[in-house]
Amino acid sequence: MPIRQITIFGTGLIGGSFALALRKHGFRGRIVGCDRAAVLERAKVRGVIDDGRTHPFEATRGSQVVLLATPVLAIVDLVDRLGPVLSPKTLLTDVGSTKKTVLERARAVFGKQVGTRFLAGHPMAGKEQSGVEFADPDLFHQAAWFVTPAPGQKIYDGLSGEFLEWVEKIGAHIASVNADEHDQLCAWISHLPQMISTALAAVLVDEYGEEAPLLEAGGRALREMTRISSSPYSMWRDIALTNKPHLQDALLKLEQRLTHIRENLDTRELAMEFERAHQLRKVPALKRR
């Protein structure tokens, strides 16, 4: 059965961008948003949603797919609240940045039906800005969209298969991976870079003050490295809490590497670190479906 209506919880940057991307690529169904009233009004003005509801259960009425595009701990809470009351014919899916905690909750709520009722996902796309004002229909173009199936789940069957067809239509590339492997990988390729940017920006403020014209003087390298330091804490708090072991491991290994560099600024070891770093761009690109 074709998807006729999608409800999006969280009509900000990711949820709003997904809605705009669907429209751009030919989705003719109805898109309902669930958020705070003020956010829903802005989403309507931008043409992101057809209708908005502040009450979760009202927002899901009549939808074949419900997409959770909120911070991770809110996703976990919504799985708890919505799972028992959604129709068995409705697919619940998410775009959370960590997957093990979310999938564990879904398995607890849906039991043996988790494979047909829930799809755990994570698009590797975003901006340092948040809010529907920054929603972009091309945000997911050429981005990886990770899917972390439950054991035995056939992600290309039924509604989840149709949903993933739309994911591909908006330009994303689907990559299926185990939930714990996903969280470990994202600790390195997403969460660690955020902490590096945050730490660098914070120490620069400590060293030079809030008003120092550092970005202009530092040039492109500094601008790029501190660009995501303005990302919202509300989102990254949940990521840190739900991926703490993997993120701690990545931070510790980086700290050790930085210590090694600090202690070898005047030795051949520094050249070897540069040589080692240059190998990164020689690694083949991620294999896509």
pLDDT at 288: 47
24 and 162 inside one domain = yes
Residues 166 and 194 in one domain: no
Shared domain check, 167 and 47: yes
Domain boundary among 178, 210, 227: 178
Q: Are residues 161 and 202 in the same domain?
A: no
Which residue, 137, 160, 178, sits at the end of a domain?
178
Q: Final residue of a domain: which of 162, 178, 194?
A: 178
Let me know whether 254 and 115 are in one domain.
no
100 and 238 both lie in a single domain: no
137 and 63, same structural domain? Answer: yes
Mean pLDDT over all residues of the chain?
Answer: 93
The structural domain count of the chain equals: 2
Sheet containing 173-176: order of strands: 51-53, 30-34, 5-9, 65-68, 91-94, 118-123, 144-147, 173-176
- Confidence at residue 82, expressed as pLDDT on a 0 to 100 scale: 96
Residues spanned by the domain of 211:
182-282
**Residues 133 and 273 reside in one and the same domain:** no
Whether 138 maps to a domain, the answer reads yes
Tell me the pLDDT of the chain (289 aa) as tens digits: 589 999 999 999 999 999 999 999 999 999 999 999 999 999 999 899 999 999 999 999 999 999 999 999 999 999 999 999 999 999 999 999 999 999 999 999 999 999 999 999 999 987 777 778 888 999 999 999 999 999 999 999 999 999 999 999 999 999 999 999 999 999 999 999 999 999 999 999 999 988 877 777 778 888 899 999 999 898 899 999 999 999 999 999 999 999 999 999 999 999 999 999 999 876 555 544 4
Q: Same domain for 23 and 130? A: yes
Claim to verify: residue 14 and residue 31 sit in the same structural domain: yes
Instruction: Record the pTM.
Output: 0.90
- 176 burial class (0-12, 13-18, 19+ CB within 10 angstroms)? middle
CA dihedral 284, 251, 126, 110 (to 10 degrees): 100
9-43 tens-digit pLDDT: 999 999 999 999 999 999 999 999 999 999 999 99
168 part of a folded domain? yes
